[in-house]
A and B are shown apart, each in its own frame.
Chain A
Amino acid sequence: MSMKLSTRQVDGVTIVDCSGRITLGEGSVMMRDTVRDLLAKGNKKIVLNLGEVNYIDSSGIGELVSAFTTTKNQGGELKLLNLTKKVHDLLQITKLYTVFDVKEDETAAVKGFK
């Protein structure tokens, strides 16, 4: 299953609903382009909803890191929402779980922005 992304606004926060695979190639490129496009348009409060992401490889992990740092460097904030067990475990073993701001509830994620 290839990657699909859609965006919606909730109280000034952009939620990016992701599904499928974030892997080397199309999936990683879509993620990169979407986040850069949001930032270019001034949307600097971003939540990546990964609830339907069933697979991620090292390139996908790198893309999440890139999205996080790019957003931060532009004065924004990026949170991760609804991690599947696979993605959760990968972020744990790569020691990235505590680097990201991970939320399990969309309302809490939206309210958590400064």
Chain B
Amino acid sequence: MEQTVSYTLDSTLDTVDHAEEKATRIATELGFAEDEVMQISMAVREGAVNAVLHGNAYAPDKKVTLAFERTPEDLVITIRDQGKGIDLNGIPNPLAPENLLKTSGRGIFLMRSFMDVVEIRPSQTGTEIKLIKHVHGASGGGKEGSQ
């Protein structure tokens, strides 16, 4: 993989599958362990779902940008949409007893569970999700970056 590769994708369900496939391929090429590859690909899938459904709401004129950057220490994945922006305060804790039986609302939680750092930046022009996995050694998943 080159230092950075990026893709501009339509707001479709196919994009979700393609994003996951690209993440799996790149993480494998970079030598991540099998369980880490699964974690990265699932986090990217959830990020892509967020962008396509909740961000761009399948709008054909809105795009999803997916970028993979390899730094000496990290694999950095950035997913941007062109939606209205996400209200992080409006996302309930899926582990709270009153939310356990809800049928949605676990995507961001899973991203945070599987990656070393997750940064979510809402804006007027959309949402940017940055997913970081350290290349060498595990450092305890689920740490949360700035938002």
Interface of A with B (CB < 8 Å)?
Answer: 23-25, 57-59, 61-63, 65-66, 68-69, 86, 90, 93-96, 99
Contact = CB atoms under 8 A, between A and B. Distances in A.
B49 A61 contact: no
B110 A58 contact: yes
Contact of A69 (B42, B101, B106): B101
Interface string B15-33: 0100000000000000000
B103 A65 contact: yes
Nearest to A63: B103
Contact of A93 (B45, B101, B107, B113): B113
B46 A58 contact: yes
B45 A94 contact: no
Contacts, number: 47
24 contacts: A23-B45, A24-B13, A24-B49, A24-B53, A25-B13, A25-B16, A57-B42, A57-B45, A57-B46, A58-B46, A58-B104, A58-B107, A59-B49, A59-B104, A61-B106, A65-B101, A66-B103, A90-B110, A93-B113, A94-B94, A94-B106, A94-B110, A95-B95, A99-B100
A19 to B, nearest CB: 18
A57 B95 CA distance: 16
B136 interface: no
A65 B46 contact: no
Contacts of B109: 94
